[in-house]
Amino acid sequence: MTGLEDLYREIILDHYRSPRNRGELPVPPAHRVEGFNPLCGDEVVLYVELDDGTLSDIRITGQGCSISQSSASLMSAAVKGKSISKVRGLIRTFKAMMSIHETCLGEDSEGASSNGASSDKAAVDLEALGELAALQGVVKFPVRIKCATLSWNALAQSLDEIGAG
Ligand code: ZN
């Protein structure tokens, strides 16, 4: 798995050093939403523009740790140009990837992992996540999960505020 972990680390660093879709959009028509993670001091500001059921454009500013900023960049690349329902699906899948592992870590620390509970894991379609799968390593460090989900929660909030199904 070392090769894969190296690849994942490279993807995260690449998005941290060269963030995609960095910048702002005029409001309106774009919708602006802020996210803040007090645990780590991460900030993201999202500018989301919808057009006819599609997330037609997204820009992100902010500052924080490499996980929060690369997650935001990876997210922007993954959702731009996608239908709203696809975007909603990606948000669900990404958050499932984060929360499932969080649950498993909790079980491991209790030492109660001998009953095959891991087979209860809901299937997370890592292939559908593409490069986003690089962030799954974050779940080994539970304190960083909020860094990774910050921009996704902000995106979900912006869709809710716009009223996009
Ligand atoms: Zn952080």
Rounded distance from Cα 12 to ligand 1 centre (Å)? 13
CB atoms within 5 A of ion ligand 1 belong to 40, 42, 65, 68, 147
Rounded distance from Cα 111 to ligand 1 centre (Å)? 28
Choices 3.90.230.10, 3.30.930.10, 3.90.1010.10, 3.90.320.10: CATH for 2-162: 3.90.1010.10
For residue 141, pLDDT beyond 90: no
Strand order in the sheet with 31-37: 31-37, 42-51, 54-63
- Give residue for tokens 């995609």: 20
Confidence of residue 111 (pLDDT cuts 50, 70, 90): very low
Task: Please write the tens of the pLDDT for every residue from 11-55.
Answer: 999 999 999 999 999 999 999 999 999 999 999 999 999 999 999
Structural domain spans, the chain: 2-162
At 165 the pLDDT is 66
The neighbour count for residue 137, using CB atoms within 10 Å, is 18
